[in-house]
Structure 1
Amino acid sequence: MTKGNLAIVLHAHLPYVRSEEPGSLEEDWFFQALVECYLPLLETLEEALRSKDQEPKITIGLSPTLLSLLEDEVLKNRFEKWVAIRLEVLNTSETECIKATLHLRDHLKRQLDSWKNCRGDLIGRFKKLETSEVIDILTCAATHGYLPLLRENPEAVRAQLKTAVREHQRLFMKSPLGIWLPECAYYEGLDELMAESGLRYAVLDGHGLLNADPRPRYGLYAPICTRRGVAFFGRDSESTLPVWSAKDGYPGNPNYREFHRDLGWDLPIEELRKIGINEKRPLGIKLFKISSKNTSLEKKQPYDPQAATESVEKDAENYLKERKKQLIRLEESMQIEPLLIAPFDAELFGHWWFEGPKFLSNLFIQSKKEGIKLITLKEALKVKPQIQLCNPSPSSWGQGGFHNYWLNKSNAWIVNEWSKAGREMISSCSEGLIEESNIKIIKQAGRELLLSQSSDWSFILKAGTTTELARERINLHLKRFWMLINTIKNKSIINSNLLEEIEKEDCIFPLISPIDWKKKT
């Protein structure tokens, strides 16, 4: 057995894309994530648990907004029809990709059976895997708010953290100890608010540890701890680059499924309208392989599932062999067992990289053979008797390594809006002006404020994709926030039907507490 451990950390998150209208683009985001990522991931972990020859171990952060979508009955009731429409398209569309069509049809049917067998209770399945010690479940900030940009009002950061912890407690009947900080973003003093919320560990990008004060003795290969009792792990780029990079890593293998070629773009609009879709957009039906990097989308070759399976087995073997070499090198210069931290967005596995869940499955199968022990973050802390005291450096894992992806000319205007709304929420919750009759209103105002702070919308504005949708979401939640808060300030009466409509659309965080925004005296 190699001396050293590998911790795979997945961040499972979607923004609050609940829609009252079926067939929306936002609904597609969620349902595609279910059939391509979350259901296959559960299947992979459950199969590995049943096998005597595998020791599956991963840490996974389940964001509160994703959990709210997973438990939403309205969305659950639409999922089977959504899958049925895709199966109908596969059954009726003429295509040269026979093997790929049959493979995708089988995949969709299997995921649908998996959904039916648990009656859509994916949260319960995650809970069982944690009880079996296969996974360690982390929380995230309530709506994935980018915390360094909310720090002007510490109460706003506290509300993101405490709302998340409370939601985790409600759904899993236990308090989370770890958190996936949105975008792995850290600023000085955040550990104090984390500790106050009962959160004891998180992952940062590598420079968050390498630039810590004092510099960590073991660099990225052991956790550090602040004086407030919060531990931090550092992302190891050598362990992550081969997996997440489509350009230089495994996902760019010519045999793997092409993400960007989707039947929704290829089908005539008349055929799309027959299934109730009135515009060209991705359906999640992808039948071609990457082929070569220089091949244009229209010239991609049909996907061959068998060739992809053979490639993913080789790539998993290569990944583990390289990690073994890395751990052997580190052993020679360390007095403790080295720890490799490999964090990824969960949707890389299945959505962006269709073969990703099979890659994980092969890691579970082959890790014993290579003598590499897989470990969760919680277990890693238990086996480290002494942890060096350090102050992490401000950082993120976004482009540039700090905060510029979420603070630039495309989205900087939002920060001032968050600050103004945050100050008003703190004032309203701190001055004892909330009468009993206004409790529902202030709670809904808190939901709208949290939803407006989602970093996903800032990311989209910078990336330049579906920017109109992102802008609409931000403005809608802020508009609702100010309408609700002004109702309280002006002691006016809100239309009960309007309040019910807002509560119905943004029915998240049932245990939200205005106390979280109360200024400390």
Structure 2
Amino acid sequence: MSGEGTFCLVLHSHLPWLAHHGAWPVGEEWLYQAWAHSYLPVVDLLERFAAEGRRDVLTLGVTPVLAAQLDDPYSLRGVHDWLGDWQVRAQYAGTRWAEKDLSSYEHRNAARALELFETRWRHGFSPLLRRLVDSSVVELLGGPATHPFQPLLDQRVRGFALRTGLADTALRVGSAPEGIWAPECGYAPGLERDYAAAGVRRFLVDGPALRGDTASARPVGDSDVLCFGRDLEVSYRVWSPKDGYPGDAAYRDFHTHDHPTGLKPSRVTGKQVAPQDKRPYEPALAAEAVRRHAADFVGVVVRRLRALRERDGRPGLVVAAYDTELYGHWWHEGPAWLEAVLRALPEAGVRVTTLRGAVEAGHVGAPVQLPASSWGSGKDWRVWDGEQVADVVHANAALQRDLLALERPRSGSRDPVLDQCVREALLALSSDWAFMVTKDSAADYARHRAKTHGERFAELASLIRSGRAGAGPRRAAELRADDGPFGHLDARDLVS
């Protein structure tokens, strides 16, 4: 370890299963927006770093349920159409907006996204991701199949979801990841034993779980599994519940739309400024803000590392972690800021590496006993186990009891009806539905999706128990065609 210390950037790429589930204002529209504005530019940035010979640039979490959507033929056709429509909408903006330079800027962005997709993405995400992993530009984190809140799962369901997710990642990129971004950073004492059994060697928690002492990775309990804590002092400089760089007056406003085109022609202008009073977006002003905020962030990291070295007498570690969708989708200028920071930090004497690289550099401290925690409101479980979602929690508990009561086929062979039944159960148990209800973010949509998957599970479970051989396979095939991630899923690994 040398220089100022070590910095690890962790990006978490996740959306719930949205393919085949409708368009605006929810469903597939969310997927296509994030794909166009975050995944395309972030992957492009990483590919350019790879071409420069850069290694261990960042740690990238990709949830299995998102990877499945980014490889799904239906989604690939859908996003291609969406990108073409974006270009048409940008052309239409040229007839509506007084600021012709802005409509031209939008059209160039749409054209560039379409070019990236048609030249690199037509066969899905996995070939791109595999090259990034094989070239060691990124360290890949995986996770449980459908991003469930693990502390609320029965241990058998939890273990099956994790094995299924890791196996899915191995199918897509050639090997299972050694680290995971635990969904919602949810932790319950003892989870590290499940991780060890599944071959997981490191995972992420939020800083308060370590009482803010995030300057090194820590073995959990008596296991060899390491936890990394998110440094909130640094992470919140970018994005916090109250403030952060994306709120700067010069940046593109996420919430203000020109509804005839569906585009965003305004800058933030001010927090108390009404949408109709916001000033037009000016890319040059935003670019200057990117330079200012990148320099500020580098200074924050350097000061934090110097303080840690003064406190501990050795170089320290800073882990900053964010949703990938922040970079480009929620914060239009995020990819430009990201590139500026990743180039400037090494010039400031900071070693930039992955979580794996931090371990190799010796940033491992003493064992720790972790409390129950998450990265949600209150840093506890209230978002996923609170009063607002008591009905969802109750339904999920009942679903798991029914799931574990199912029996294997007497033949001992794989059963597509049982497989689809378990697949629907895992989709119903996604943490996203409770999050969206608690945060009142498309709550009705979330309740509908949880209910739909729960009802499909119950329907198939009833067919299995009643032995209706003809109806079961037909219905399972219908649902598999409509809602079919994780074709490798083998329910015999779960049911007795």
TM-score, structure 2 normalization: 0.94
Paired AA for residue 210 in structure 1: R
Q: C-alpha separation between the residues in 1 aligned to 2:217 and 2:121?
A: 39
What residue is the counterpart of 1:460 in the other structure?
436
Describe the superposition over 1:395-439 as per-residue Cα deviations: whole angstroms up to 9, x where unpaired. 10100110011122321112222222212222224xx55545771
Partner of 2:107: 105
Distance 2:25 2:296 in 1: 41
CA distance in 2, matches of 1:90, 1:168: 36
Aligned ranges 1:39-50 → 2 under 5 Å: 39-50=40-51
C-alpha separation in 1, matches of 2:364 and 2:341: 29
Q: Is the 8 A contact 1:48 1:364 kept in 2?
A: no
- C-alpha contact (below 8 Å) 2:129/2:173 kept by paired residues: no
Q: Distance in 1 between matches of 2:151 and 2:233?
A: 27
Q: Is the 8 A contact 2:250 2:282 kept in 1?
A: yes
Tell me, yes or no, if structure 1 residue 220 matches structure 2 residue 196. no
2:118 is aligned, of 116, 119, 122, to: 116
Cα distance between partner residues in 1 of 2:196 and 2:39: 30
Distance 1:229 1:437 in 2: 36
1:21 is displaced (CA, Å) by 5.8
Task: Please give the alpha-carbon distance, in whole angstroms, between the structure 2 residues aligned to 1:128 and 1:171.
Answer: 11
TM-score by length of 1: 0.90
- For structure 2, list consecutive stretches of 5 or more residues without a partner in the other structure: none
Q: Work out the CA distance in 2 between the residues paired with 1:91 and 1:8.
A: 37
Aligned mate of 2:458, from 482, 486, 492: 482
Work out whether 1:236 is the aligned partner of 2:231.
yes
Q: Which of 398, 418, 421 is matched with 2:376 structurally?
A: 398
Amino acid at match of 1:463: K
For 1:129 and 1:401, the matched residues in 2 are separated by: 33
Alignment equivalent of 2:256, drawn from 255, 258, 261: 261
Instruction: Give the superposition deviation at 1:262.
Output: 1.6
Report how far residue 24 of structure 1 moved. 7.3
Name the structure, 1 or 2, with higher relative contact order (CA <8 Å, separation 6+): 1
Aligned equivalent of 1:214: none
User: Residues 81-480 of structure 1: matches in 2 within 5 Å?
Assistant: 81-93=81-93, 94-120=96-122, 121-150=124-153, 153-210=154-211, 219-226=213-220, 227-245=222-240, 247-264=242-259, 267=260, 283=262, 285-384=263-362, 387-429=365-407, 432-435=408-411, 439-480=415-456
Q: Distance in 2 between matches of 1:345 and 1:386?
A: 25
Task: Output one character per residue of 1:419-472: Cα deviation in whole Å (capped at 9) or x when no partner.
Answer: 22212222224xx55545771111111100000011111111112232221111
Query: CA–CA distance in 1 between the matches of 2:442 and 2:166?
Result: 31
What is the alpha-carbon distance in structure 1 between the residues aligned to residue 410 and residue 365 of structure 2? 45
Cα distance change of structure 1 residues 158 and 326 upon mapping to structure 2, 3 Å threshold? same
Deviations 1:259-311 (A, max 9, x none): 001223xx2xxxx7xxxxxxxxxx4x211100112211111111001111111
Moved more, 120-129 or 358-367: 120-129
Secondary structure, counterpart of 2:322 in structure 1? strand
In 1, Cα distance between the equivalents of 2:289 and 2:171? 42
Q: Which amino acid aligns with 2:5?
A: G
Kindly provide the amino acid, as one letter, of the partner of residue 184 in structure 1: C
What percent of counterpart residues are identical? 27
> In 2 relative to 1, CA 67–313 (structure 1 residues): closer, same or farther, beyond 3 Å?
same
Please tell me the residue identity of whatever aligns with 2:247: G
Separation of aligned partners in 2, 1:249 and 1:24: 26
8 Å Cα contact 1:205-1:235 kept in structure 2: yes
Q: Please give the alpha-carbon distance, in whole angstroms, between the structure 2 residues aligned to 1:141 and 1:99.
A: 45
Structure 2 vs 1, CA of residues 325 and 482 (structure 1 numbering), >3 Å: closer, same or farther? same
User: For residues 287 and 124 of structure 1, what CA distance do their matches in structure 2 show?
Assistant: 35
1:7 aligns with 2:1: no
Find the aligned partners of 1:357 and 1:488 in 2 and give their Cα distance: 49
The amino acid of 2:245's aligned partner reads Y
Deviation at 1:345, TM superposition (A): 0.8
Deviation for aligned residue 1:336: 3.5
Change (3 A) 1:23 1:400: closer
Q: CA deviation at 1:514?
A: 1.8
* Partner residue in 2 for 1:501: 478
Equivalents in 1 of 2:278, 2:16: separation in Å?
32
Contact 2:291-2:340 within 8 A present in 1 as well: yes
In structure 1, runs of 5+ residues without a counterpart are: 212-218, 273-282
Q: Which stretch has the larger CA shift, 22-31 or 168-177?
A: 22-31
Aligned partner of residue 10 in structure 1, secondary structure: strand
CA distance in 1, matches of 2:23, 2:149: 30
Which secondary structure state, in structure 2, belongs to the residue aligned with residue 405 of structure 1?
Answer: helix
Q: CA RMSD in A?
A: 2.0
Deviations 1:445-503 (A, max 9, x none): 11000000111111111122322211111111111111111212121234244322111
CA distance, structure 1, for counterparts of residue 477 and residue 377 of structure 2: 41
* Mean Cα deviation higher: 435-444 or 296-305: 435-444
